[in-house]
Amino acid sequence: STLLYLLLYSAARTAAGPQLANAAALLLSAVANTAANRRLTFGVRGRARAVRHQAQGLVVFAIGLALTSGSLAALGAANAAPGHSTELAVLVTANLAATVLRFLLFRAWVFPERRATPAKDHS
């Protein structure tokens, strides 16, 4: 999802400022990321609670947006005209921190029922 985010950001950045490009790229990749994590990481199948999971994912998105937007704002304060590669480096770092936080929030809050299921005894 970080690669998708960077591709979307780079595409949007050609037509918009860094904050708008960041928000758009993060929103689009967050919806895809929540769906992928729901199915692949946490093994949740079917439509039950899908809307709730996406709504919770949007809260997690807002936290990630605050992290990445704050990083871009700090970069802008330090350098009035940073290069695209510098923006990407700052965003990769911020996105990695957001990814760790997103996984922890998904595990503890969005998909806690997957952890609450007891393991089957095969003996």
- Amino acid 33 reads N
Question: Could you report the per-residue pLDDT of 6-23, keeping only the tens digit for each?
Answer: 999 999 999 999 999 999
Tokens at residue 15, please?
A: 């037509």
pLDDT of 115: 52
Question: Could you report the per-residue pLDDT of 73-111, keeping only the tens digit for each?
Answer: 999 999 999 999 999 999 999 989 998 998 899 889 888
Residue-averaged pLDDT of the chain: 87
Model pTM score: 0.76
Please report the DSSP string for 79-94 in residue order: -SS--HHHHHHHHHHH
Q: Where are the domains of the chain?
A: 2-112
Is the pLDDT at 63 greater than 90, yes or no?
yes
CA-nearest of 95, 87, 37, 110 to 65 is 95
Q: Are 26 and 65 in contact (CB under 8 A)?
A: yes
Distance, in Å, from the CA atom of 78 to the CA atom of 62, rounded to the nearest integer, reads 24
pLDDT of 24: 95
